[in-house]
Homo-oligomer: A and B are copies of this chain.
Amino acid sequence: MSSVSTPISKTKQAKNIETGPLTVDELRRIDAYWRACNYLSAGMLYLQKNPLLREPLKAEHIKNRLLGHWGSDPGQSFTWVHLNRLIKKYDLNLIYLSGPGHGAPATLSNCYLEGVYSEVYPDKSDDEEGMQRFMKHFSFPGGIGSHCTPETPGSIHEGGELGYSLSHGFGAAFDNPDLIVAVVVGDGEAETGPLATSWHSNKFLNPVRDGAVLPVLHLNGYKIANPTVLARIPPEELEWMFKGYGWNPYVVEGDDPAVMHQLMAEVAEKCVLEIREIQKKARAAKAGTTLERPRWPMIILRSPKGWTGPKELDGHKVEGFWRAHQIPILDPKTNPAHLKLVEKWLRSYKPEELFDEKGKLIAELKELAPVGRRRITANPHANGGLLRKPLDLPDFREYAVKVENPGQIEVSSTDTLAHFLRDVMRNNMTNFRVFGPDETASNKLQEIYQASKKTWMSKILPEDADGTEIAPDGRVMEMLSEHTLEGWFEGYVLTGRHGFFSSYEAFVHIIDSMFNQHAKWLEKSKLELRWRAPISSINLLITSLVWRQDHNGFTHQDPGFLDVVANKSPHVTRIYLPPDANCLLSVGAHCLRSTNYVNVIVADKALHLQYLDMDSAVRHCTKGIGIWDWASTDAGEEPDVVMACAGDIPTSEALAAVAILRERCTDLKIRFVNVVDLFRLMPETEHPHGLSDSEFDSLFTKDKPVIFNFHAYASLIHKFTYRRTNHDNIHVRGYKEQGNINTPLELAILNQVDRFNLAIDVIDRVPRLQATAAHTKQWLQDQIIDSVNYAHENGIDREEITGWKWPD
């Protein structure tokens, strides 16, 4: 018989408490377990010594600097202990995502109580000494992060930046029919745009093949210093909103722990049973039955911020107010009265009832946690690399474009890739998905629909049969929210699966910040955490490029995502600019095999000339950078000039410039260099793909002019090459924010990445041409004027341009 106390209901709702669903004994124990969580959470904020309060609390026991967040910890732990009960009762396979990631003490304390923290970090052992280290090192220099960082066992969602918890949760649930993903959404986070639209993810979850997401909207009422929007709207609006979003919301509201335990036990169990019922019904339906979108349950938990903490401090309300957001009492080290208050608060959890003399959770509480891999923080879905199986990839060479001679035929690179992706999909119908914001077809990837349509759980109309390509069992994810797609994708790979995302180039900036956060997660996981198994890479195909925005104009012209990518760790970032379809195939297959990267692939969707046969493409992409002999005229000698390029459209213009120069400046020795793997340009000391200086010099020479035609902003090339011997001679052309409604050639001309301007660049930089090629230069200048005039008169480019082929 244990000694933990039964909570006493302030509100005397004895009937409610006694009628269950929890027995008095269950209630007593579940509350005690929760007190253990709260005790640890509060202890993490304050204590560097005396972790079990075996002696009176003294100033020296308090950390020198108090950093951390208390506000959402008790509500999150409250949710957690009730999930634990259901995991045990129904043998659930369940993971937990903490939207208010700042409330990491809740996750950490549960992880510690489940024994997982000590298993992963043996110095934080399951005893008094371990508990002391665990508390002291929380939010401490060189110690445990104050969010659910990658270092946190059981976490796949850090919550440092707000907005992505629910989309991450759905990503985890897709194709995991057995899994329940509990997602606590903070009411602060709920105000963000990404979160607000991600409630609609329920229209994309198929109850037959996918798992379930159980959102718990944690309305604790306050952000750092403000009330939250959702906490102050009338209850009926709140209910309408979530019913409008397609959910079935259950409210658990109050502040009396005993009553709340009974309410939560009842509601959470009801939700689990509803989920099971929905799944059972959907899965039992005969093939051919129309699958209707279910109304999934969710919980609205309205509990006080900083629940069970100090009610007030020096006359200021704390519990149930924004003052409970971070450290409720800031100066116990220097203010003896406040030290007393902290002690009283910590002792209110009665640690002496909860932990034995060694500092271990007492046995009758320990029993409440699931065991083994059912423990939330030990669930392998939260360390997805453990479950990851490599894709069954068809041989990408079989999708090759037949290229007999370079620059003769035009093909859409993305369409070519789509045939490969279609069969990747066919071979991997349970662990591969394709993502894109309503643009899979617009980006010429629609061949994928032959393998699988777009996921659609809403109404399907008769006319949809004619090309809409939607179905409940579709595996192509389209919604007009880059945030939601990226969130789904991240959740999907973090739980051990694979995917491919295509986006309009300009609008991939919408997910800059998500990219940053995922790259940071990967960097820590990959470089510092051996226990995290590698996960699949995020593969981002950037298409509908700046150079082909003929009718969208200026707003759709922004190739700057590469600059954002280049700021992150070289250990987790890759940028590829395949010049043609076969190179895209080679790069694409490589990326799908890789782990722990964000791979960014830049390739246009329009028809473009093809240069390399498959073998050459593989060789070229393997090297990542190389001289194209067939386009060069230096015959292996030291050239007069290097024409370099990266990106499909810049490559084709650079080649056209070379063709002009070959014809008109016949003795000019040009070396043609194409770059696929952009990081090859960086010094080898800065990036694992970087070329050594001698390799770089052997391509770009030590002193000859280099004209570099680049897909994106020119400065990125300078950033990568400023330390190189020949940097002073590298002249880069790229996008310079010039454009509107333009033909392709006109847009290129405006930004001087076109064939004529490039040829002029060469003439201007090779001294001996300045005398001999004056006539050619004049001709080139005339071509520029004629081209623009023609476009402005006819709305299209001249046929010499649109029908241009490599002359060989």
Are A188 and B438 interface neighbours, CB within 8 A?
yes
The answer to whether A123 has its CB under 8 Å from any CB of chain B is: no
Question: CB distance B741 to A144 under 8 Å?
Answer: yes
Contact of A193 among B246, B484, B512 (CB under 8 A): B484
A456 within 8 A of B: yes
**Complex contacts, A160 vs chain B, CB 8 Å:** 552-556
Q: Does A340 belong to the interface (CB within 8 Å)?
A: no
Shortest Cβ distance from A611 into chain B, in angstroms? Answer: 27
Chain B contacts for A560, CB-based, 8 A: 516, 564, 567
A203 proximal to B (CB < 8 A): yes
Contact flag A468-B243 (CB < 8 Å), given A65-B795, A160-B555: no
* In the complex, residue of chain B having the shortest beta-carbon distance to the beta carbon of A509: B513
Interface centre among A144, A160, A196, by most chain B C-beta atoms within 10 angstroms, is A196
Report the nearest B residue to A715, measured CB to CB. Answer: B719
Could you say which of B139, B193, B197, B563 contacts A551, with CB atoms under 8 Å apart? B139
**In the complex, residue of chain B having the shortest beta-carbon distance to the beta carbon of A740:** B145
A480 in contact (CB, < 8 A): yes
User: Does residue A245 face the partner (Cβ distance < 8 Å to B)?
Assistant: yes
Q: Does A429 contact B (CB under 8 A)?
A: no
Chain A window 51-76, contacts with chain B (Cβ cutoff 8 Å), 1 for yes, 0 for no = 00000000000011101100000000
Q: Is the C-beta of A593 less than 8 angstroms from some C-beta in chain B?
A: no
**Residues in B whose Cβ lies below 8 Å from that of A483:** 192-193
How far, in Å, is A99 (CB) from chain B's closest CB? 12
Residue contact A67 to B509, C-beta cutoff 8 Å: no
Pair A456/B563 contact, Cβ less than 8 Å = no
Binary flags per residue of A539-554, CB closer than 8 Å to B gives 1, else 0:
0000000000011111
Nearest CB in chain B to that of A239: its residue: B244
Per-residue CB contact flags for chain A residues 554-590 toward chain B (1 = under 8 Å, else 0) read: 1110101001101111000000000000000000000
Q: Is the CB of A229 within 8 A of B200?
A: yes
Please tell me which one of the listed residues B227, B245, B746 contacts residue A458 in the complex, with CB atoms under 8 A apart. Answer: B227
Closest chain B CB from A218 CB (angstroms)? 14
A224 touches B (CB below 8 Å): yes
Contacts of A466 in B (CB 8 A): 316-317
Look across to chain B and name the residue whose beta carbon is closest to the beta carbon of A454: B226
Q: In the complex, which residue of chain B has the Cβ closest to the Cβ of A326? A: B551
Bound-state Cα–Cα, A62 to B548, Å: 22
A640 at the interface (CB under 8 A from B): no
Q: Does A523 contact B (CB under 8 A)?
A: yes
The listed residue (B48, B323, B468, B479) touching A191 by CB distance below 8 A is: B479
Task: Check: A147 CB closer than 8 A to any chain B CB.
Answer: yes
Most buried by B among A203, A464, A478, A481: A481
The distance in angstroms between the C-alpha atoms of A68 and B791, with both chains bound, is: 17
Select the stretch in A230-238, A630-638, A773-781 that faces chain B: A230-238
Which residues of chain A from 753 to 794 have a CB within 8 Å of any chain B CB? 788, 791-792, 794
* Given A142-B791, A555-B158, also A225-B442 (CB < 8 A): yes
Asked if A237 and B227 sit within 8 Å, CB to CB, the answer is: no
Query: Are A197's CB and B203's CB within 8 A?
Result: no
Residue of chain B at shortest CB distance from A144 = B741
Given that A513-B509, A553-B160 are contacting pairs, would A194 and B191 also be in contact in the complex, using a CB cutoff of 8 Å?
no
For A225, the closest partner residue in chain B by CB is: B441
Query: Cα distance A456–B160 when bound, in Å?
Result: 26
**Which of these, B193, B454, B551, contacts A195 with CB under 8 Å?**
B193
Measured in the bound complex, the distance between the Cα atoms of B145 and A606 in whole Å is: 21
Which residues 506-559 in A have Cβ within 8 Å of B in the complex? 506-507, 509-510, 512-513, 516-517, 520, 523-524, 550-556, 558
A142–B64 Cα distance when bound, in Å, is 65
CB <8 Å contact, A317 and B463: yes
Cβ of A117 under 8 Å from chain B:
no
A441 to chain B, nearest CB (A): 5
Asked if A64 and B192 make an inter-chain contact with CB atoms under 8 angstroms apart, the answer reads no
| Cβ–Cβ < 8 Å partners of A316 in chain B | 466-467
- Expressed in whole angstroms, the minimum distance between the Cβ of A549 and any Cβ of chain B is 10
Bitwise, A18-52 to B at CB < 8 A (1) or not (0) is 00000000000000000000000000000010000
Shortest CB–CB separation between residue A237 and chain B, in angstroms?
5
Which residue on B lies nearest to A478, using beta carbons?
B226
Are A188 and B442 also in contact (CB < 8 A) when A466-B317, A568-B737 are? no
Smallest CB–CB gap between A627 and chain B, Å?
25
How far is the CB of A712 from the nearest CB of chain B, in Å? 9
Using CB atoms, name the residue of chain B closest to A746: B141
Query: With the chains together, A188 CA to B550 CA distance in Å?
Result: 22
Any B CB within 8 A of the CB of A459: yes
Residue in B64, B567, B569, B718 whose beta carbon sits within 8 Å of that of A795 in the complex: B64
A612, CB-defined interface residue at 8 Å: no
Which of A228, A479, A551, A715 counts the most chain B CB atoms within 10 A? Answer: A551
A321 an interface residue at 8 Å Cβ cutoff? yes
Q: Which of chain B's residues have a CB closer than 8 A to the CB of A795? A: 48, 63-65, 140-141
A233-255 CB mask vs B (1 if < 8 Å, else 0) is: 10001111111111000000000
A149 within 8 A of B: yes
Q: Are B722 and A161 in contact (CB under 8 A)?
A: no
As a 0/1 sequence over residues 119 to 163 of chain A, the CB contacts with chain B under 8 angstroms (1 = contact) are: 000000000000000000001111111110100000000101111
Q: How long is the Cα–Cα vector from A225 to B436 in the complex, in angstroms?
A: 12
Q: Which of B149, B438, B479, B510 contacts A513 (CB 8 A)?
A: B510
- Bound Cα distance A454, B223 (Å): 14
Cα A737 to Cα B522 in complex, Å, equals: 12
A713 (CB) vs chain B CBs: closest residue: B567
Chain B residues within an 8 Å CB radius of A741 = 67, 139-146
Q: State whether B237 touches A241 (Cβ < 8 A).
A: no
Q: Does A742 touch B at the CB level, under 8 Å?
A: yes
Q: Decide if A470 is an interface residue (CB 8 Å cutoff).
A: yes
Q: Does A743 make an interface contact (CB < 8 A)?
A: yes
Chain B CB within 8 A of A439 CB: yes
A103, chain B: closest CB distance, angstroms: 13
Q: Which residues of B contact A146 (CB under 8 A)?
A: 551-553, 741
Query: 25 A-B residue contacts at CB 8 Å?
Result: A102-B552, A142-B741, A143-B792, A146-B552, A149-B554, A160-B556, A161-B506, A161-B510, A193-B484, A203-B229, A203-B233, A228-B480, A237-B243, A238-B244, A316-B467, A506-B513, A506-B516, A509-B513, A512-B512, A512-B564, A516-B560, A517-B555, A520-B554, A560-B564, A567-B737
User: Knowing that A141-B742, A145-B740, A223-B480 are A-B contacts, what are 18 other residue pairs whose CB atoms are under 8 Å apart, sorted by A's residue number?
Assistant: A141-B791, A142-B791, A146-B553, A147-B553, A160-B556, A161-B555, A189-B480, A196-B200, A203-B232, A225-B438, A226-B438, A227-B458, A232-B458, A237-B245, A240-B240, A241-B241, A509-B513, A722-B722
